Structure 1
Amino acid sequence: MRGKRHVIQSSPFGVPLGCLAASDDLSFLYNGFRSANLSLDVELDTVYSYGSEFGDINDNHVGIDINGLRSSEAAPAGYYTNSSGRLTNLTLASSHPMQIWVEYDGATKQLNVTLAPINIGKPSIPLLSVVLDLSPFLQDTMYVGFSSSTASVLTSNYVLGWSYKMNGQAQALDLAQLPKLPRIGPKERSKFLTIGVPTISVSVVFIVISGLVYFIRWKRKFAEVLEDWELDYGPHRFKYKDLYIATKGFRDKELLGSGGFGRVYRGVLPSSKIEIAVKKVSHETRQGMKVFVAEIVSIGRLRHRNLVTLLGYCRREGELLLVYDYMPNGSLDKYLYDQPRVTLNWSQRFKVIKGVASGLYYLHEEWEQVVIHRDVKASNVLLDGELNGRLGDFGLARLYDHGTDPQTTHIVGTLVISLLNTLELERPQQRLMYAFGAFLLEVACGRRPIERREQADDVILLDWVFSFWVRGEILEASDPNLGPNYAPEEVELVLKLGLLCSHAVPEARPSMRQVLQFLECDIPLPELSSLGLSASGLTFARPEG
């Protein structure tokens, strides 16, 4: 063998023998048939032997050897493609797995050798073909096997699988079941180790540093200070981070509205997926913040179907965030003013009026303390999914115990309430009834409490409705968008009740208990003329100038 070839012994019969072989430096011979009188070998040779002894054509060829190591037929390693029939070269020492078919047809006395990569089927044209009559050499015992040698060149040859059959087609190899080639020789230092690892290390350090910087900024961004006096209100306090995530960073896209006391954003709590409305309110002094939080948390315990539920608060850097239930239909004023695209008919408006009155009655008489809202107006009445009116925005609300008579001259609220600056009223409930009267007129007339005019006097809704009452045409002041089927007696009742609640004499104004009785027709509304109502009596509230 001279140490130069591996040998695969082949069958002498007309049967195919499939074999898979691969190596890093392949010098492999397939011993096809061996008996006392004949040796038939198919060689895969990767070593070129100089001189004429073996007659090698190159160092990468396939040969058929008969009774010796000199090939009677040889061809450079390759295969003929089925599509074009062209010879495609293969490198036996490429370390890529390959397939070889050795077939002998006893009828035609022809031996075919076919080579191909592992990932394609058997080519239809064999690489080598030789006519050879093996019948004289048939014996009862013959051998088929593999042999190899490496000479001075270090090689590693592997037979991953083989199939043999006499008198028929050998079973095709299941390539998916073949073992993988083992790694031979010293491992090369990969680019990943020489370039990738240092690069990744630097990147990891950079990422870690960036992460720390980001984390510090994140902590500062959402930093909160919880003072001792707030511990009693802990269950009602939200984390700023949760509200920030819920409102998507208080983006303008989530803005529901804004006013003199803050901006309101829609949000979805990340944990419970509950929709909320978050109002951002500023407060100047620490002591004022303490009182404000105490009252807000107390109001958070209010529960009534016509009040927007205050879920809690968040305090951060002089800023308060009030968290409410989200009302999907927004505020009532959007359905009243400036030719709205969607209006409410009278039945819907009357239900809202009675709902707000019921909520205010709960605040004044039914809860454990008296709550004075101090900012009743259409924009602070929100509509839920069924268009029920819910009074919200308790940012100006004040609380006191039942049976006490708080004395205060501090006037707060919107422009409607500021009309009272010259009245020197002392009872908060009487002051609220004045604002509630303006609210009744807003809803029934579809007008703002005060309409600004550039080149004329401002129109005060109270005076405007009163002028219709004086002429005996109070229904003419109602909103023309009430719908065709409204009840005139209900509209008239609300308009007159609005005038009564805005009476110049505080003691003449009804309580919320009486308002509910009027709206439910449990008691009749008194005649306004019997109360001394007059134009001069109603317009006194307009500020001078």
Structure 2
Amino acid sequence: MLEAKRVFPLLFFYGIHLAAVAVSGGSGGDDDEFVYSGFAAGGSNLTHLTLDGTAKVTPTGLLELTNGTAHSKGHAFHPTPLRLREPDDGGSDKKKKAAAAIRSFSATFVFGIVPPAAPGVGAGHGLALVVSPTKDLSSGMATSYLGFLNGTKFFAVELDTVMSTEFHDKDNNHVGVDVDTLVSAAAASAGYYDDRTGEFTSLTLISGEAMQAWVDYDSDAGRVDVRLAPIRTGKPRKPLVSTEVNLSTVIGEEAYVGFSSSTGTLTSRHYVLGWSFAVGEPAPAIDMSRLPKLPQRSSESPSKALVIALPVVAGGLTLATVACVLLLVRRRYRYVELREDWEIEFGAHRLSYKDLFHATDGFKSKNLLGAGGFGTVYRGTLAASGTEVAVKRVAHGSQQGMKEFVAEVATVGRLRHRNLVQLLGYCRRNDELLLAYEYMANGSLEKHLYGVGGEPGPTLIWAQRFQVIKGVASGLLYLHEEWEQAVVHRDVKASNILLDSEMNARLGDFGLARLQNHDAELHTTVVAGTFGYIAPELALTGKASPLTDVFAFGAFLLEVVTGRRPVEDSTDGHRVMLVDWVLEHWRNESLAEAVDPRIQGGYDVDEVSLALRVGLMCSHPLAGVRPSMRQVMQYLAGDTPLPELTPAHMGMSMLALLQNQGLDSFVMANSSSSSASVRSFDTSLSRGR
């Protein structure tokens, strides 16, 4: 009896604590667990939920990640980090520290994906539960990247509604387990196994119905199990996806958990109704009775009230229409666009001129980012999605040339890679073409290397430069070998490398790119590119290939390490080619003297030496000696040892080779400026016509 009296107050206090958690809808007192039974206002920590992009909490208590606009993304994170790794015991054994176990954890959430109202229209792209070292994924990419692939290490469980060939998706309705890449470690079509019969029942993620997901990580087995079921069905015994994973490389002692979602050209609305998470024990139960309801897709047939109301308001609408006609006529020519039948197949990338006009404030000079041979570029924000864009205005008088150019723009617009600037869409107006790209917050790499208008730019430390080099190499590998066609960029240079908000490199400006089938015969065209980056064989034969891109990458790599342009004037008035200058340092065993003296904070000598030697190999005057971009990636990652360079291997200087091949006139014609461009608009983006 005495023992009962002692235990009862503890049980009573514990019960009061659980009730408080359920009522608040927020986290309990334990920093390693929380439960949201809806997201209605009044929860103790809901005002601190970290949201960005299109994510918001609706008045009804839904966590809305995307709002149905195209090319949008939304993130929502629990505000405080969780301890997902066993704490460091303070010992000095590095191996023990590195091997500190990831703690078991469990999550469950109720979600719903509401597709567009029109029947038969697909939806995109999906949502994911994310475990990340940071809750700031604002620079993540939309469309097939689900809003969170931005170079940050992560663990995620994706609910994907679009089949992306880039990530080897099995279908457009699947659940996948991702560790630091969107190529899933394991995946399965959405559904669940019935506990009674053992039979598999498929589920449609874009049904507009609420579903519940469970994610359980067992630290002893190193395995993650994912289950899915209709709401109120209960947690199935058999997991939908079960796979062993190594989370030690992506999870530190503390990590943030949340959701990431995105849309592409196809849109949908992604919602989370309830969510709980716990470390070291099962996730707390969500109070299903307190969950908000999902909005429904619009009905196809009008309601009775609408049928009755239509005759009443018809007269008023007619008068209002007549009153607006004069205003519309006056504004008509301000936003008029040119559309033709042949553009229908490219409609997915079409943006309205009105949207781009308003996004840039009417193309005002205060939003001007720069100007070049292909037009002017303006900064803007699309009102519907809040997406920041860079809008390029290009003039072209040839109707046939415009048709071919738009066809190629639509093709290039399908490229998706973390190190490529994404083309979001285009618009045609009279003889003007407008291209809308992702906006890169840190501008071009050229600004950081050489400054602007005589003013020095912000100096990049070596770690940032090496990250830029590897990022551009990864983007070129995708263009040359990993996309459905081989893409030869033809204008790799510092001014065409843009840096996002996290200083990740994005290769842009595909105005000179050529598309060809893999292993196709090369076609001759007008020499295009920028002097100093143009390979000798391209100048001699006019045939562009992936190896001419490799040459340009080599010049760019040397430029990043040395802080010098590919071609410069010497004190005695002669031209100095950067590759020859670095080659001379290599021959004199003084490569350290070639490093940009502005690099601050020190650098890894081995990495710098490796980068310079890779740059020399890529800049070799003979195409057959240059490595492929796949080999370059392996060298830079340290996966494959770099072949030893010998004087015989490197051959004569670049300037001497050009002169020996009778290209003196080419050198002199383009020597007035180290950044002189040689380009032909009519051959840009050609398929080898």
**Residue 454 (structure 1) shift:** 9.4
In the alignment, the residues of structure 2 paired with residue 354 and residue 317 of structure 1 have an alpha-carbon distance, to the nearest angstrom, of 41
* Candidates 587, 609, 612, aligned match of 1:492: 609
Partner of residue 355, structure 1: 471
Partner of residue 437, structure 2: 324
Partner of residue 339, structure 2: 226
* Candidates 424, 427, 446, aligned match of 1:333: 446
Could you tell me whether the CA contact under 8 Å between 2:618 and 2:627 is conserved in 1?
yes
Could you tell me whether the CA contact under 8 Å between 1:462 and 1:538 is conserved in 2?
no
Q: Any idea what SS the aligned residue of 2:532 has?
A: helix
Q: Any idea what SS the aligned residue of 1:516 has?
A: helix
Partner of residue 483, structure 2: 367
Letter in 2 for 1:287: Q
Q: Any idea what SS the aligned residue of 1:371 has?
A: strand
Between 1:345-354 and 1:403-412, the stretch displaced more is 403-412
| Deviation per residue, 1:140-169 (Å, 9 max, x gap) | xxxxxxxxxxxxxxxxxxxxxxxxxxxxxx
**Residue 455 (structure 1) shift:** 7.2
Could you tell me whether the CA contact under 8 Å between 2:526 and 2:542 is conserved in 1?
no
In the alignment, the residues of structure 2 paired with residue 209 and residue 527 of structure 1 have an alpha-carbon distance, to the nearest angstrom, of 80
1:430 aligns with 2:543: no
1:249 aligns with 2:365: no
> % of aligned pairs identical?
53
Could you tell me whether the CA contact under 8 Å between 1:360 and 1:512 is conserved in 2?
yes
**Residue 238 (structure 1) shift:** 1.0
Partner of residue 151, structure 1: none
**Residue 217 (structure 1) shift:** 5.0
Q: For structure 1, which runs of at least 5 residues remain unmatched after alignment?
A: 1-207
Letter in 1 for 2:344: L
In the alignment, the residues of structure 1 paired with residue 655 and residue 591 of structure 2 have an alpha-carbon distance, to the nearest angstrom, of 15
| Deviation per residue, 1:208-232 (Å, 9 max, x gap) | 9999777545322322111111001
**Residue 352 (structure 1) shift:** 0.9
Could you tell me whether the CA contact under 8 Å between 1:502 and 1:538 is conserved in 2?
no
Partner of residue 388, structure 1: 504
Partner of residue 480, structure 1: 597
Q: Any idea what SS the aligned residue of 1:522 has?
A: coil
Could you tell me whether the CA contact under 8 Å between 1:504 and 1:538 is conserved in 2?
no
In the alignment, the residues of structure 2 paired with residue 393 and residue 520 of structure 1 have an alpha-carbon distance, to the nearest angstrom, of 26
Q: Any idea what SS the aligned residue of 2:426 has?
A: strand
* TM-score for the superposition, normalised by structure 2: 0.46
**Residue 362 (structure 1) shift:** 0.9
Could you tell me whether the CA contact under 8 Å between 1:425 and 1:506 is conserved in 2?
no
Between 1:480-489 and 1:517-526, the stretch displaced more is 480-489
Partner of residue 449, structure 1: 566
Q: Any idea what SS the aligned residue of 1:416 has?
A: coil
In the alignment, the residues of structure 2 paired with residue 452 and residue 228 of structure 1 have an alpha-carbon distance, to the nearest angstrom, of 52
Could you tell me whether the CA contact under 8 Å between 1:306 and 1:355 is conserved in 2?
yes
1:411 aligns with 2:527: yes
**Residue 418 (structure 1) shift:** 4.7
CA pair 349-450 structure 1, distance change in 2 beyond 3 A: same
Q: Any idea what SS the aligned residue of 1:292 has?
A: helix
1:264 aligns with 2:377: yes
Q: Any idea what SS the aligned residue of 1:321 has?
A: strand
Q: Any idea what SS the aligned residue of 2:582 has?
A: helix
In the alignment, the residues of structure 1 paired with residue 597 and residue 335 of structure 2 have an alpha-carbon distance, to the nearest angstrom, of 50
Matches within 5 A, 1:195-234: 215-216=328-329, 218-234=331-347
Could you tell me whether the CA contact under 8 Å between 2:449 and 2:457 is conserved in 1?
no
Partner of residue 425, structure 2: 312
| Deviation per residue, 1:91-141 (Å, 9 max, x gap) | xxxxxxxxxxxxxxxxxxxxxxxxxxxxxxxxxxxxxxxxxxxxxxxxxxx
Q: Any idea what SS the aligned residue of 1:245 has?
A: helix
Partner of residue 201, structure 1: none
Partner of residue 285, structure 1: 398
In the alignment, the residues of structure 2 paired with residue 396 and residue 434 of structure 1 have an alpha-carbon distance, to the nearest angstrom, of 16
**Residue 425 (structure 1) shift:** 5.7
| Deviation per residue, 1:378-422 (Å, 9 max, x gap) | 111111111111111112112112232232243212223456464
Question: How many residues get paired?
Answer: 338
Could you tell me whether the CA contact under 8 Å between 2:621 and 2:657 is conserved in 1?
yes
Partner of residue 520, structure 1: 637
In the alignment, the residues of structure 2 paired with residue 437 and residue 498 of structure 1 have an alpha-carbon distance, to the nearest angstrom, of 4
| Deviation per residue, 1:452-484 (Å, 9 max, x gap) | 579712332222222222222122111012223
1:237 aligns with 2:354: no
Could you tell me whether the CA contact under 8 Å between 1:405 and 1:427 is conserved in 2?
no
Q: Greater relative contact order (Cα 8 A, min sep 6): structure 1 or 2?
A: 2
Letter in 2 for 1:305: R
CA pair 510-531 structure 1, distance change in 2 beyond 3 A: farther
In the alignment, the residues of structure 2 paired with residue 452 and residue 220 of structure 1 have an alpha-carbon distance, to the nearest angstrom, of 51
**Residue 429 (structure 1) shift:** 1.0
* Candidates 365, 372, 377, aligned match of 2:493: 377
Could you tell me whether the CA contact under 8 Å between 2:554 and 2:619 is conserved in 1?
yes
Partner of residue 150, structure 1: none
Q: Any idea what SS the aligned residue of 2:650 has?
A: coil
In the alignment, the residues of structure 1 paired with residue 519 and residue 572 of structure 2 have an alpha-carbon distance, to the nearest angstrom, of 49
**Residue 281 (structure 1) shift:** 2.0
CA pair 534-225 structure 1, distance change in 2 beyond 3 A: same
Could you tell me whether the CA contact under 8 Å between 2:426 and 2:434 is conserved in 1?
yes
**Residue 248 (structure 1) shift:** 0.9
**Residue 274 (structure 1) shift:** 1.1
Q: How well do the aligned residues superpose, as a CA RMSD in angstroms?
A: 2.5
| Deviation per residue, 1:468-504 (Å, 9 max, x gap) | 2222212211101222330111111111211111111
Which structure has the bigger radius of gyration? Answer: 1
Letter in 2 for 1:308: V
1:275 aligns with 2:391: no
Could you tell me whether the CA contact under 8 Å between 1:433 and 1:509 is conserved in 2?
yes
* TM-score for the superposition, normalised by structure 1: 0.58
In the alignment, the residues of structure 1 paired with residue 629 and residue 397 of structure 2 have an alpha-carbon distance, to the nearest angstrom, of 34
Letter in 2 for 1:412: A
CA pair 217-497 structure 1, distance change in 2 beyond 3 A: farther
In the alignment, the residues of structure 2 paired with residue 330 and residue 452 of structure 1 have an alpha-carbon distance, to the nearest angstrom, of 27
Letter in 1 for 2:472: V
Could you tell me whether the CA contact under 8 Å between 1:445 and 1:479 is conserved in 2?
yes
Could you tell me whether the CA contact under 8 Å between 1:276 and 1:324 is conserved in 2?
yes
Q: For structure 2, which runs of at least 5 residues remain unmatched after alignment?
A: 1-320, 669-689
**Residue 433 (structure 1) shift:** 1.0
